[in-house]
Amino acid sequence: MVALATNPSAPASASQLDGQQRQQLGVAALAGDSISGLARQNEVSRKFVYQQKEQAQQALQESFTPPPADEKVLFYLPVTKKWLYGLVLGLLLSCRSSFRGIQELMIDHFGFSISLGTIHNLSARAINQAQDLSAIHYAAPDEIFQSSRPVLVGVDLQSTYCYLLEAAERRDADTWALALLQAQEQGLQLERTVADGGTAIRAGQRMVWPDVPCDYDHFHALQETERLVTFLENRAYRLIGVREMLESKMARARQRGQGREFSARLGRARREETAAIALADEVALLLRWLREDILPPRGPDFATRLALLDWVVEELCQRESQCAHRIAPVRKLLENQRHPLLAYAERLDENLAGLAAEFDVLSDAARAVWNLEWLDTASPRYGLEATGLRGRLGGKFFGLQQAMAGLRAVTFRSSSWVENLNSRLRNYFFLRGQIGSDYLELLQFYFNHHRYQRSAVSSREGKSPAELLTGQRHAHWLALLGYLPASAN
């Protein structure tokens, strides 16, 4: 029997028992002591003793019952100011959060106030400027705009490393030349670039590297041709609609004996419709040849491609009068940029000739193997052509086939990687009216040191552009900035 310590001058009552005394009473009841005895000895009711016993029983049961899965404590973190800054970087770069959103989250979840200036000052400039850029030889420069202010961008076409991400007041040749000179101080020495039709990019590049060619990007050229095809198709559909409307009106007019009222307009509409359909079909076919037979890597030699391109330009010129304001710009683009568009094919001819000499085969055999490698390996055509080439080349076929992988790695005809980077930049820019240099440097660092989780090129999976550029493994991007990630704990 457990008796609770009470004041002998004032008998204990239920209201006067403190928490520890109630706990002792409940434990004694759970231990099997007489309920009546406990009530009598402590001068409380039996009902009160039962209540304490029930509370003690519930407390005991809860202590041995595992919490629900979503309430289970997974781990404890020593939350320091440095840890919070690492979290801010993750929210800013991995989650693309706004500055104001980060401020609100810090206050709501951690009771920690962080200023916008502190977020802005999380910089990666030193790491970016320390990177050796001498391994970059093929690049794609471009421009993107934020609140009407240009941002200069440059990407290595082999490693996808972003060597330039800089806000500028202007986008003239001098600005581009200055940005490239700064990159040159880090070792950048280009052999070839691919860009859109921007004249300032090319002029600035000539100031720094007068002998480095700049090919015309196929992506932008084909984009212009697709716009022309779409416009001509829509115009043809519109004229079909006009003709159908006039036919409907004429049918109703004939019922009233007034059919001649629409005969002249209907005849003209039919002629315009026929001409528009023919023009749309012919231009679409010409530009399809351009897209599928003249510009792709799989195809004939440079001289043949150039002759075919000139023929397409001539055919467009003959049809230009039918829709001059839309056909003329595309025709002029193909005519004026004929050599920059096909410069990669001329270089490809030289590389294939070198492989042909190395393996002691004819140049057309080397090109046949090159064209084979652009086919779907599961297609019947691939099997037929591969069988024929193996019979023709014997043991040299496999050596040539392996050499084509290296040739593909240095054959570029578009600036798609810089366009890819631009599309990712827009996801960060849309939340902000102004883009500071520190923020751009942080983005450049993140894009270069964040590892690809997936990629169409298997060799890039699990690697960052910086690792692809240098061939050396580096620490997690947070660790490089001095903030150890949780995965490293």
- Whole-number Å distance between alpha carbons of 43 and 465: 79
Which candidate, 145, 153, 133, 204, places its Cα nearest to that of 174? 204
Q: Contact at 8 Å (CB) between 389 and 404? A: no
Q: Output the CA angle 306-233-274, nearest 5 degrees.
A: 100
Q: Contact at 8 Å (CB) between 372 and 385? A: yes
- Whole-number Å distance between alpha carbons of 140 and 156: 7
Termini Cα distance of the chain: 52
In the numeric block, the tokens 């304001």 are attached to 325
CATH 3.30.420.10 assigned to domain 125-217+414-488? The reply is yes
Q: Contact at 8 Å (CB) between 433 and 441? A: no
- Whole-number Å distance between alpha carbons of 299 and 301: 7
Phi, psi (deg, nearest 5) at residue 407: -70, -40
Query: C-alpha distances in angstroms, 361 versus 27, 353, 411?
Result: 96, 9, 21
Number of separate helices (H) and strands (E) present in the chain = 21, 5
Contacts of 395 (CB under 8 A, 6+ apart): none
Per-residue pLDDT in tens (0 to 9) along the chain, 489 residues: 445 544 443 344 777 788 888 888 888 888 888 888 888 888 888 888 888 888 888 887 877 776 666 667 777 778 888 888 888 888 888 888 887 888 888 888 888 888 766 665 667 788 888 899 999 999 999 998 887 788 999 999 999 999 999 989 888 999 999 999 999 999 999 999 999 888 899 999 999 999 999 999 998 899 999 999 999 999 999 999 999 998 888 888 877 777 677 788 888 999 999 999 999 999 999 999 999 999 999 999 999 999 999 999 999 999 999 999 999 999 999 999 999 999 999 999 999 999 999 999 999 999 999 999 999 989 999 999 999 999 999 989 999 999 998 898 888 888 888 888 888 888 888 766 566 778 888 899 999 999 998 887 788 889 999 999 999 999 999 888 888 766 555
Q: Residue 291: what pLDDT?
A: 94
Q: Which two tokens stand for residue 259?
A: 């059919």
Burial (Cβ within 10 Å: 0-12, 13-18, ≥19) of residue 342 = buried
> What SS3 class is residue 283?
helix
Q: Residue 433: what pLDDT?
A: 59
Q: Contact at 8 Å (CB) between 141 and 197? A: no
- Whole-number Å distance between alpha carbons of 325 and 354: 45
- Whole-number Å distance between alpha carbons of 64 and 242: 81
Helices (H), 65-189: 81-89, 99-110, 116-120, 125-130, 173-184
Q: Residue 11: what pLDDT?
A: 43
- The H or E element containing residue 155 is strand 149-156
DSSP string for residues in 187-251: T---SEEEE-S-HHHHHHHHHH-TT--EEEPHHHHHHHHHHHHHHHHHHHHHHHHHHHHHHHHHH
> Within 13 A of 302's CA, how many CA atoms are on the CB side?
17
Q: Residue 429: what pLDDT?
A: 80
- The H or E element containing residue 407 is helix 396-408
Query: C-alpha distances in angstroms, 176 versus 150, 206, 319, 426?
Result: 11, 10, 39, 21
> What SS3 class is residue 351?
helix
Query: C-alpha distances in angstroms, 177 versus 138, 149, 174, 203?
Result: 17, 18, 5, 8
Which candidate, 218, 220, 334, 238, places its Cα nearest to that of 280? 238
Burial (Cβ within 10 Å: 0-12, 13-18, ≥19) of residue 212 = middle
- Whole-number Å distance between alpha carbons of 439 and 433: 13
> What SS3 class is residue 144?
strand
Helices (H), 360-395: 363-372, 380-393
Residue 156, beta-bridge partner list = 139
What does DSSP say about strands 162-167 and 214-216: parallel, antiparallel, or unpaired?
A: unpaired
In the numeric block, the tokens 């096909």 are attached to 342
